[in-house]
Chain A
Amino acid sequence: MSNHAIRDGGRLSAWRAAWVIARRDFTAILFSRSFIFFLLGPLFPVVVMGLAGGVGAQVQSEASVADVGIAMQTQDVDAMLAAHSELAMQVPGSVPPMVALKRLAPGETFDARSVLEEGEGSLAAIVTGTLDAPVLTATEGRVARWQGTIGLIAAHAADQQTRIYPPVGTEIVGTSGAAENSGRLRTAQGGQVLLFLLIMLLASMVLSNLVEEKGNKIIEVLAAAIPMDAVFMGKLFAMLGVSVVGIAVWGSTGAAILYAGGQSLSDFANPGVGWPMFFVLFALYFAMGYLLLGSIFLAVGSLAATVREVQTLSMPATMFQILVFFFASLAVTDRGGVIEYTAMAFPLSSPFAMVARAAAEESLWPHLLALGWQALWVAIFIKGGASLFRRRVMQSGPRGAKKRSLFQRLGRATG
Chain B
Amino acid sequence: MDMATSDFSPAHNMTRPLAIEARGLVKRFDNTLAVDGVDISIPEGAIYGILGPNGAGKTTTIRMLLGIIDPDEGYRRVLGSDNPQDVARRLGYLPEERGLYPSMKSYEAIAFMGALRGVPLPEGRARAKVLLENHGLGHAIDKQIRQLSKGMAQTVQLLGTLVHEPKLVVFDEPFSGLDAINQGKLEVLIRGLADKGTTVIFSTHVIAHAERLCEGIAIIAGGKVPFAGRVDEARDRIPAQVRLETRNSDGPWRAAMPQDARRVGDFWNFPLPESGVEPLLKALIEGEAGILSLSIERAGLHDAFVAIAGEAAARDMVTQAPGEPA
Contacts and interface: CB of A to CB of B under 8 A. Distances in A.
Contacts of A223: 68
Interface string A55-82: 0000000000000000000000000000
Nearest to A220: B95
Nearest to A9: B89
Given A221-B116, A225-B116, A11 B85 contact: yes
Nearest to A396: B59
B88 interface: yes
**Top-10 shortest CB links A-B:** A217-B99, A218-B99, A11-B88, A225-B116, A10-B86, A397-B55, A220-B95, A6-B118, A217-B97, A396-B59
B95 A221 contact: yes
26 contacts: A2-B118, A7-B86, A8-B86, A9-B89, A9-B90, A10-B81, A10-B87, A12-B117, A20-B112, A219-B99, A220-B68, A220-B95, A221-B93, A221-B160, A222-B116, A223-B68, A224-B88, A224-B91, A224-B95, A395-B60, A397-B54, A397-B55, A397-B56, A397-B57, A398-B54, A399-B57
Given A28-B101, A218-B100, A224-B66, A397 B60 contact: yes
B272 interface: no
Given A1-B120, A396-B60, A397-B34, A11 B99 contact: no
A394 B63 contact: yes
Interface in B43-68: 54-57, 59-60, 63, 66-68
A224 B66 CA distance: 7
A218 B160 CA distance: 12
Given A8-B86, A224-B66, A226-B88, A395 B34 contact: yes
Nearest to A13: B118
B90 to A, nearest CB: 6
A376 interface: no
Interface string B151-165: 000000100100000
Given A217-B95, A217-B97, 11 more contacts: A9-B90, A10-B88, A11-B118, A20-B112, A223-B68, A224-B67, A224-B68, A225-B88, A397-B59, A397-B60, A400-B34
B218 to A, nearest CB: 17
A394 B123 contact: no
Interface in A224-249: 224-227
Contacts of B54: 397-398
Contacts of A397: 34, 54-57, 59-60
Nearest to A390: B69
Contact of B93 (A1, A32, A224): A224
A5 B123 CA distance: 14
Contacts, number: 112
A226 to B, nearest CB: 6
B115 A20 contact: yes
A3 B240 CA distance: 54
A414 interface: no
A225 B117 contact: yes
A221 B99 contact: yes
Contacts of A222: 116
A1 B119 contact: yes
Contacts of B55: 397-399
Contacts of B59: 396-397
A403 to B, nearest CB: 10
A127 interface: no
Interface residues of A, number: 37
Interface in B71-110: 81, 85-91, 93, 95-104
Interface of A: 1-2, 5-12, 17, 20, 24, 28, 32, 216-227, 390, 394-401, 412
Nearest to A408: B30
A193 to B, nearest CB: 35
B326 to A, nearest CB: 8
A30 B228 CA distance: 50
A2 B160 CA distance: 19
A226 B29 contact: no
B65 to A, nearest CB: 10
Contacts of B322: none
B325 interface: yes
A216 B160 CA distance: 16
Nearest to B165: A1
Nearest to A400: B29
A324 B88 CA distance: 41
Nearest to A8: B86
A216 B99 contact: yes
B32 interface: yes
